[in-house]
Amino acid sequence: MLQVLLQSVQFLLVIIIAYLFKKAHILRSTDGVALQKIILNLTLPATIIIGFNGVTVEPILFIMISLGLLSNIMLVSLGGFIWRRKEAPLQSLMMFSQAGYNIGNFTIPFVQGFFPAAIPYIGSFDMGNALMLFGGSPMLVDKVIHKEREHSGYLRRIIRLFKSPSFTTYIIMFILALLGIVLSDRVLSIFELFASGNAFLSMFMVGLYLEISIDSVSFNRVKKLLVTRYVLGVALALVFFLLLPLPELVRVSLVLVALAPIGTVSTINMIVYGTSRALSSFLASISIIISLVLMTGALLLIL
């Protein structure tokens, strides 16, 4: 319990320090782009390799992939229904804000220090989550708002999906697990070197991207979006933990992903579909802080 609380305080401290660095003009928000490239192409794949190495492929991993898909489909659809009377940009904003989880840059770094056994389950969920983030959710939004975009072809979406280093790493490690191939300790030690910096870099990047100023109209809109997301998220977490006949570790993993912040790709999609960059950035930033509090609280209650 103390370890969970200490981890959360450490994460918050890193976020605050990065934010203060930005405010003091030591670093800029744009420096977060360089950190993001390091995380997505190096430290996160290394963390996934360590987490998945030696995992036995069981039906439960396929269940997690399915739950990643189904939860996204359900929440995107609910978002479209809730703001069905709004104009297309607002309806798409609600849909993207309800589904899509920031697992690679937040949830995995959050658990890797004290809960590494959960990474294969969270990573499997993220495979289904990624399928929706990079293709499924935009297709659902297009269908609901009756607008088909030129870039929404199936082939382009699949290519875009495999351009994600983390998703490609998931697939490779999944195949190795199916074949029963386990990386040796010597090989693993190389990846451990890079993975050790993943949590710090991820939280520092969050701090650089953090935005806490916005106009009153946008603030009220963000408040409605986040209240809806986390009411649905808490309800989903309760269903996962109390009703699913799965091992406790798996149910705890599902609680964490249900409370995870809005995915980075979801934020990008909001901008593509007409939401201002300021509102999208503020929404994602506040979502991270709320998720940190809720995920910590959930673990303190469960463990």
- Cβ-contact 100, 137 below 8 angstroms: yes
pLDDT tens for residues 272-290?
A: 898 988 899 899 989 999 9
- The pLDDT of residue 244 is 95
Q: What is the pLDDT of residue 83?
A: 94
pLDDT at residue number 210: 87
* pLDDT over 70, % of the chain: 97
The model's confidence at residue 163, banded by pLDDT at 50, 70 and 90, is confident
Q: Is residue 76 predicted with pLDDT exceeding 90? A: yes
- pLDDT of 89 > 80? The answer is yes
Q: Which neighbouring-strand residues pair with 142?
A: none
Alpha carbons 70 and 76: distance in angstroms, whole number: 10
Query: pLDDT confidence of 204, banded at 50, 70, 90?
Result: very high
Q: What is the pLDDT, as a whole number, of residue 187? A: 92
Question: Residue 154 — pLDDT band, cuts 50, 70, 90?
Answer: low
What does the mean pLDDT of the chain come to?
90
Range in 87-96, 146-155, 267-276 the model is least confident about: 146-155
Output the pLDDT for position 103: 93
Global pTM? Answer: 0.89
d(CA 99, CA 206): 19
* pLDDT of residue 80 exceeding 60: yes
The distance between the two most distant Cα atoms of the chain, rounded to a whole number of Å, is 58
Say yes or no to pLDDT of 150 above 70: no
pLDDT at 113 over 80: no
More confident residue, 228 or 167: 228
At residue 257, the pLDDT reads 97
Question: What does the pLDDT average to over 185-210?
Answer: 91
Tell me the pLDDT tens digit for each residue of 229-269.
999 999 999 999 999 999 999 999 999 999 999 998 899 88
In this structure, which amino acid lies at residue 59?
P
Of 134 and 254, the structure prediction assigns the larger pLDDT to: 254
Q: Confidence band (pLDDT; 50, 70, 90) for 153?
A: low
pLDDT of amino acid 50: 92
In the chain the domains, ranked by start, together with CATH numbers, are 2-302 (1.20.1530.20)
pLDDT above 70: residue 43: yes
